Amino acid sequence: MIGIDGGSVICQRTIKRPINCTGIGLHSGARVAMTLAPAEPDTGIRFVRTDLADAEVPAQWDRVVDTRMCTMIGEDGVSVGTVEHLLAALAGVGIDNLVVRLDGPEVPIMDGSAAPFVFLVECAGIAEQARPRRAIRVLKPVSVRGDRWSASLEPADGFSLDLEIDFDSSVIARQAMDVSLVNGTFKKELSRARTFGFLNEVEALRAAGLARGGSLDNAVVVNGDQVLNEDGLRYDDEFVRHKLLDAVGDLYLAGGPIVGRFQGVCSGHAGNNALLHALFADEDAWAWDVLRAADLVAYSAHHRWAAEGGRAVAGG
């Protein structure tokens, strides 16, 4: 931390050293090598396609070009898919500046969660940078909605998310969770939640060029009233936890941490990005600010479970 105007201000962070991994692209099915590398202060998160003459795509909300089954960003005809899980990990551990080098069209899916990316960052080590961390402070409520979903941001201390999902599946049904992202909550409560899909949709997805790399090794697969994965679920409510993980990653495309409260009902990648468009379209709804220690104070929250739907509240 550094002192500004008598207050403790959070410093920007990157990683100490480059680190590599390889994996399969969830939608392309292609094997992808990825390197995470340190970056200078105030440069943000940048993706570099090493297979396309080092073409660069910044991780920003206005670079989103597709939200079908993942979040894809692109610029000048160059795209990078499935960025949300990596971005969620970077948001969760507080990495501001990073270069992500890929020799393929999408971030590798790994085990379908953000936990492998948190592990990579921890192995590389975190380096503080002598520059204040910038945040987007929500100043007034902003909301978007569709036929069966809604999403909103409103002013609040710190960053918290409240999400409800409802699927026509007895395995998932209605689930809800409220989480405050402080004191390692992302790693403990959300990072291990895996992406999921339905067996009866696989053929159609692959015909559309999606989910070609999907398997029981990198996704929870639901068939009727059964989970097909041999080891079952990592959490009883793993589905809503993963949707929250997705929201954390999608919202990190704002260009920095958000100080405010997100609420969603059945929202996904498209709704999350539409919400950022609505936020930045209203100059009175947000402002850049430095992130202070007071913004990271935990909500007085605890786990609790509702009799129906399994709502959890986590924080601290």
Q: What is the mean pLDDT of the chain?
A: 90
Q: How far is CA 255 from the centre of its chain?
A: 13
Whether the per-residue pLDDT at 3 is higher than 90: the answer is no
**Domain tally, the chain:** 2
43 and 68, same structural domain? yes
Bridge partners of 11?
Answer: 132
Q: What is the rounded average pLDDT of the residues 261-284?
A: 98
Which pLDDT value is given to residue 2?
A: 61
Whether the per-residue pLDDT at 307 is higher than 90: the answer is no
Bridge partners of 48?
Answer: 56, 101
Which pLDDT value is given to residue 200?
A: 85
Q: Residue 202 — pLDDT band, cuts 50, 70, 90?
A: confident
Q: Residue 8 — pLDDT band, cuts 50, 70, 90?
A: confident
259 and 166, same structural domain? yes
Which pLDDT value is given to residue 292?
A: 87
Whether the per-residue pLDDT at 304 is higher than 80: the answer is no
Whether the per-residue pLDDT at 29 is higher than 90: the answer is no
Residue 259 or 216, more confident: 259
**CA nearest 100: which of 252, 207, 279, 225?**
252
Residue 291 to residue 10: CA distance in whole angstroms: 6
Q: Residue 281 — pLDDT band, cuts 50, 70, 90?
A: very high
Give the number of other Cβ atoms within 10 Å of residue 217's Cβ: 13
Q: Which of 105, 132, 159 is the last residue of a domain?
A: 132
Which pLDDT value is given to residue 316?
A: 41
% of the chain residues with pLDDT over 90: 78
304 and 289, same structural domain? yes
151 and 287, same structural domain? yes
Domain that holds residue 234: 134-314
166 and 151, same structural domain? yes
161 and 243, same structural domain? yes
64 and 18, same structural domain? yes
Which pLDDT value is given to residue 211?
A: 63
Q: Residue 129 — pLDDT band, cuts 50, 70, 90?
A: very high
243 and 179, same structural domain? yes
Which pLDDT value is given to residue 310?
A: 44
User: Which CATH number fits the domain that encloses residue 193?
Assistant: 3.30.1700.10
297 and 166, same structural domain? yes
Catalytic residue ranges: 269
Residue 81 or 200, more confident: 81
Q: Residue 301 — pLDDT band, cuts 50, 70, 90?
A: very low
86 and 177, same structural domain? no
Q: Which two tokens stand for residue 210?
A: 């999606």
Write the pLDDT tens digit of every residue in 141-191: 999 999 999 999 999 999 999 999 999 999 999 999 999 998 899 999 999
- One-letter-per-residue 3-state SS of the chain: CEEECCEEECEEEEECCCEEEEEECCCCCCEEEEEEEECCCCCCEEEEEHHHCCEEEECCHHHEEECCCCCEEEECCEEEECCHHHHHHHHHHCCCCEEEEECCCECCCCCCCCHHHHHHHHHHCEEEEEEECEEEEECCCEEEECCCCEEEEECCCCEEEEEEEECCCCCCCEEEEEEECCCCHHHHHHCCCCCEEEHHHHHHHHHCCCCCCCCCCCCEEEECCEECCCCCCCCCCHHHHHHHHHHHHHHHHHCCCEEEEEEEECCCHHHHHHHHHHHHHCCCCEEEEECEHHHHCCCCCCCCCCCCCCCEEECC
139 and 121, same structural domain? no
Residue 19 or 308, more confident: 19
C-alpha angle with apex 65: 176 to 172, nearest 5 degrees? 20
Which pLDDT value is given to residue 92?
A: 97
Backbone angles phi, psi at 85, to 5 degrees: -70, -40
Which pLDDT value is given to residue 306?
A: 35
Residue 36 or 28, more confident: 36
